[in-house]
Amino acid sequence: MQPTVSFIVPTYRRTEKLERALESTRRATSCFIEVIVVDDCPDGSAFGVVQKYGARYVSKAGIERGQSFSRNIGIQMARAPWLCFLDDDDFLLDGGIDRLLQVARPGNSLVFGDYFAFNVDVRTEVSLQAITLNSLLVCNHIPMGAFLINKSFIIRNFDTRMRSHEDWDFLLSNGFGGTFEHVPMQVVAIDKTENLTTSTEARRRKYFWLDFLSIYARFPASHLADARQAMLASLGLQLPDGLLQMGDEI
């Protein structure tokens, strides 16, 4: 029997949270699924958890490290027509994937729902009902786990050269070849309890504007020049006036 959804879960040394993520895939849908876990850990720490849940396991420790490589392996292995990318520290909400599948037609390239994010102090509810292609051309708003993508519309894998925002680049590259549809239901919880301001994370955030520029160059949209200019300014980069007004829209 062919699975309806392939869940692709990159992981690295988070066995307890990985178990929570894998358990959530069982409650998120009643359809036949497959789960593909791609492990970056040198000692294969996720293997026991993966066995417990009957998921497919790939160990790639020491070669092509990072989530983008892992997700690309998952895409290659996936047998289902719809793919869901779930980070190992997040988890799906009961029935959310079933609700997305209710509107997942062959002509849809992307279906997505709402989410909540939390840390030790705060929980934030986020509705994506107002999301349009134009808003996504300025900044990504759809997190991993909140969408299903039609595998037949994927023409370009995750860009392994990017240091951040490769998920945004992936959505723009593949998510809008057909129609896309929003479902007003929370489908995933985004766990931010480990997002501490470490020196490494601070350095990454300092250079976010580089990846924004890369995406803006790859997906030109002159009608959004002012909005993009304001976004870059919020990241600490001030471009000369008119620079973003060149190029055709996708």
pTM: 0.91
Q: Which domain holds residue 226?
A: 199-245
Q: Identify whether residues 181 and 208 lie together within a single domain.
A: no
Reading the chain (250 residues) residue by residue, the pLDDT tens digits are 789 999 999 998 899 999 999 999 999 999 999 999 999 887 878 999 999 999 999 988 666 678 999 999 999 999 999 999 999 999 999 999 999 999 999 999 999 999 999 998 899 999 999 999 999 999 999 999 999 999 999 999 999 988 889 999 999 999 999 999 999 999 999 999 887 554 445 555 677 888 898 899 999 999 999 899 999 988 887 776 666 665 554 4
250 lies in some domain:
no
pLDDT one-digit tens code per residue, 97-123 = 999 999 999 999 999 999 999 998 899
Which residues, 6 or more positions from 87, have their beta carbon under 8 angstroms from its beta carbon?
A: 9, 10, 21, 67, 144, 145
Instruction: Mark whether 207 and 121 lie in a shared domain.
Output: no
Query: Is 43 part of a structural domain of the chain?
Result: yes
Give yes or no: residues 69 and 129 share one domain.
Answer: yes
Count of domains observed in the chain: 2
210 lies in some domain: yes
